[in-house]
Amino acid sequence: MGELTLRRRLSDWLVRRRRRSDLAFEAVENPDASAVEAVRRGLAAWNDSQIGPTAHVPVGVFVRDSTGRVRGGATGYVGWGWLYVERLWVDEEFRGRHVGTELMMRLERLALDREVNRFQVGTTSFQALGFYRKMGYEVFAELPDHPPGHTDYFLKKYVALSGAAEDEEPDA
């Protein structure tokens, strides 16, 4: 390596080091909400600068019993042209009665009403992999031994909007 290149690299390193000298790094458990929100807002601003503003709209479907108590629900958000299913839960007393299927179908309908026909969900091997497969989702990634002894699965599903071929994947 030439002397000029070495000097330039050393100079660049010193400049970078000086730029960081006024920063304090902090690693914490249970970070305060304002710090987490600052990171979320910063990342959202960066993403918006790259692809334009996009709304991530929270969505949910809930089932209640006659007393108004929530006995199940499916929640997530619509953003970037996808429905991201974050949670699906049905009280044990109501499992096996197709409540989960109805919740998912209604959540997907919310997305389709927004012209969103791509859906994504994650599940773990001890949760609902078979259920999602029956709903037409396909595994596109796995994370083994998470949690230890189990596997995380990431699934997707495409549904045709009116006028599109049923098995046609949307343009990427």
The answer to the question of residue 168 being in a domain is no
Tokens of 129: 């992999």
The answer to the question of residue 170 being in a domain is no
Per-residue confidence band for 170, with pLDDT thresholds at 50, 70 and 90: low
Tokens of 48: 């918006």
- For residues 72 and 102, the answer to whether their CB atoms sit within 8 Å is no
Largest Cα separation within the chain, whole Å, is 80
CA distances from 142 to 126, 155, 161, 166, 170 (A): 14, 9, 28, 26, 23
The answer to the question of residue 119 being in a domain is yes
Q: What is the pLDDT of residue 169?
A: 56
Instruction: Share the mean pLDDT of the chain.
Output: 89
The answer to the question of residue 166 being in a domain is no
Task: Give the whole-angstrom CA distance, residue 35 versus residue 113.
Answer: 35
The answer to the question of residue 148 being in a domain is yes
Write the pLDDT tens digit of every residue in 32-79: 999 999 999 999 999 999 998 888 899 999 999 999 999 999 999 999
Q: Which burial class, exposed, middle or buried, applies to 110 when counting CB atoms under 10 A from its CB (0-12, 13-18, 19+)?
A: middle
Write the pLDDT tens digit of every residue in 108-126: 999 999 999 999 999 999 9
| Nearby residues of 107 by Cβ (< 8 Å), 6 or more positions away | 59, 60, 61, 74, 75, 76, 83, 85
Domain housing 20 = 3-158
The answer to the question of residue 138 being in a domain is yes
Q: State whether the Cα torsion 83-129-87-92 is positive or negative.
A: positive
Provide the 3-class DSSP secondary structure of residue 94: helix
**71 DSSP assignment:** E
Predicted TM-score of the model (pTM): 0.76
The answer to the question of residue 164 being in a domain is no
Q: Which residue has the higher pLDDT, 97 or 163?
A: 97
Number of domains in the chain: 1
Q: State whether the Cα torsion 136-139-140-143 is positive or negative.
A: positive
| CATH code for the domain in which residue 67 is found | 3.40.630.30
Q: Are strands 118-124 and 82-90 parallel, antiparallel or unpaired?
A: parallel
Per-residue confidence band for 141, with pLDDT thresholds at 50, 70 and 90: very high
